[in-house]
Amino acid sequence: MSKKILLTGGLGYIGSHTAVSLIESGYDVVILDNLSNSRKDVLEKLKKITKVMPKFYFGDARDEGLLIEILKQNVEAVIHFAGYKSVYDSIKSPIEYYDNNLNCLIRLIDAMNKTGCRNLVFSSSATVYGIENISPLIENMNMGTCTNPYGRSKQMTEEILKDITVSNPEFSAIALRYFNPVGAHPSGLIGEIPRGVPNNLMPYISGVASGKYEVLNIYGNDYDTRDGTCIRDFIHVCDLADGHVKAIEYALKNNGFDAINLGSGNGYSVLEIVKAFESTNNIKINKKFSERRAGDIAISYADIKKANQILNWGPRYGIEDICRDTWNFEKMMFQDERV
Ligand code: NAD
Ligand code: UFG
C-alpha cells in the first residue's frame, strides 16, 4: 500500500508542485489548507496533471482536533508548508506572522506526538542565514541576524525542531532551506498566483511581460557584484518539489534533525535574469533602476553538497526552463482570467 503523506498548505505554490512529485512517485497525498493564499481549483489542476485527486481538508493547521483526525488515518509523514511568507507583511503585522507560523508548528507537533506520527519535513528558508554569512551558504554556518519577523519565525521553528528531536530521539525533522523558488509546472496548470502586487522578482517580471505592470523597478545597481545588481540562487519549483520527495524518503529511514539547502548552487544577478527572460521568451521587459530595497543583501546562493550527498538530489532545470515555464504559466493565467 502506498505511504500516506499530509501536506499542510498543500494547495499553495510549493505545496501543489510537491503534491505532483509525490503522487508521481507513488505516495498517497492528503492536503490540509485554509485557502488563505491559494485557490481550491488547484485540486482540479492536480487531477489533470496526475490523474489523481488528492483528499482535501479545508481547515486551519492550528486546529489540533482536525490535525489529530487526519493524522489518525495512518499518515506516515507530514510536509509542513502552511504559513505566511511575505517579509514586508511580517514587518507590518508581526503578531499575525508569529501566530500563524509558530502556532501551526506547535499544534502540529503536539498532534503528531499524540498520534505517533514522527516524520516531519519543514519549509525553512535561506533567510535563516541572516545578513552576515558569506555565500556560498553552508548548513553548518551559524544562523545569522534576521532583520524581520518572517525570518525570525523560520529560525525559531528550526530551534523548536531541534528541541523536539532531542526530547524524542525517534522523531525525524528535516528543515529544507529554500533559496529563491521560481518557475511553474511545465503544463502551465499550476504556478505562483500572487495576491495583489508581487514583492518577488520573477512574478513581477512576468507581470510586466503580460502588461499587468508598466515597468520593473530594479532595486539597486551599485552593489559590489559583477553588474551592480543583487545575486540570488533561483531554483525551479519542480526541482524543489523533487527535493521534498527525497527528503521524505530520508526522513522515513532516519531520525534526528537536519537542515538542508535546496538551491541551484549558482548565483544569477537580477539583470542576468531579466536578460534570460527576454531572450528565452523573445519579449522586451520595460525596466528602470531605482533605490536599493531595505533589507536586501548583495549576494545569496547555496552550497548544495549536503543535498547531493544525503538526499541524492540535484537540480535538473536551468535558467531557460525557469523563464519559459514562468511565462507559460503567466499566459495560461491570463487566459483563465478572461474566461
Ligand atoms: P503559499 O502562500 O503559496 O502556500 C502556503 C499555503 O499555506 C497556502 O495555500 C495557504 O492558503 C496555506 N496556509 C497558510 N496558513 C495556513 C493555516 N494556518 N492553515 C492552513 N493552511 C494555511 O507559499 P509557498 O510559496 O508555497 O511557501 C510554502 C512555505 O515555504 C511557506 O512556509 C514559506 O514561508 C516557505 N518558503 C517560501 C519561499 C518562497 O519564496 N515561495 C521561500 C522560502 C520559504
Ligand atoms: N527585485 C527587484 N525588483 C522587484 C523585486 C525584486 O529588483 O520588483 C530584486 C530584489 O531587490 C532582490 C532580488 O530581486 O535583489 C530578489 O528579490 P526577491 O524578492 O524575489 O527575493 P529575495 O531574495 O529578496 O527573497 C527571497 C524569498 C524570501 C526569503 C528571502 C531570503 O522571497 O521569502 O529570499 O532567503 F526570506
- Give the 3-state secondary structure of 166-217: HHCCCCEEEEEEECEEECCCCCCCCCCCCCCCCCCHHHHHHHHHCCCCCCEE
Model-level pTM greater than 0.85? yes
SS3 124: strand
Is the CB of 225 within 6 Å of ligand 2? no
* Measured distance CA(271)–CA(301) in Å, rounded: 16
pLDDT at 339: 46
Q: At what angle do helices 319-338 and 201-209 cross, to 10 degrees?
A: 60
pLDDT at 209: 96
Is the CB of 200 within 6 Å of ligand 2? yes
C-alpha cell at 1: 500500500
Is the CB of 221 within 6 Å of ligand 2? no
Ligand 1, atom nearest to 11 Cα: 9
Is the CB of 85 within 6 Å of ligand 2? yes
The residue annotated as part of the active site, out of 13, 150, 178, 204, is 150
202 C-alpha to center of ligand 2: Å? 9
pLDDT at 144: 84
pLDDT at 1: 82
**Is a pLDDT exceeding 50 seen at residue 5?**
yes
137 C-alpha to center of ligand 2: Å? 16
Q: Express each pLDDT in 44-98 by its tens digit.
A: 999 999 999 999 999 999 999 999 999 999 999 999 999 999 999 999 999 999 9
For the segment 8-31, the average pLDDT, to the nearest whole number, is: 98
Q: Domain 4-181+236-263 class?
A: alpha beta
Is the CB of 67 within 6 Å of ligand 1? no
Ligand 2, atom nearest to 128 Cα: 35
Is the CB of 9 within 6 Å of ligand 1? yes
56 C-alpha to center of ligand 2: Å? 31
**Is a pLDDT exceeding 60 seen at residue 338?**
no
Active site annotation includes 301: no
Paired residues of 176 in beta bridges: 123, 260
Nearest ligand (C-alpha, residue 100): 1
* Measured distance CA(190)–CA(187) in Å, rounded: 8
Specify the DSSP element, H or E, that contains 158: helix 149-167
Closest C-alpha to ligand 1, atom 9 = 12
201 C-alpha to center of ligand 2: Å? 6
Give the torsion sign (CA, 150, 152, 156, 161): positive
For every residue of 94-114, DSSP letters joined together read HHHHHHHHHHHHHHHHHHHHH
- Domain locations in the chain as residue ranges: 4-181+236-263
Q: Express each pLDDT in 191-236 by its tens digit.
A: 998 888 999 999 999 999 999 999 999 999 999 999 999 999 999 9
pLDDT at 236: 98
Pocket test for ligand 2, best of 146, 232, 297 (most atoms within 8 A of CB): 232
Closest C-alpha to ligand 2, atom 3 = 218
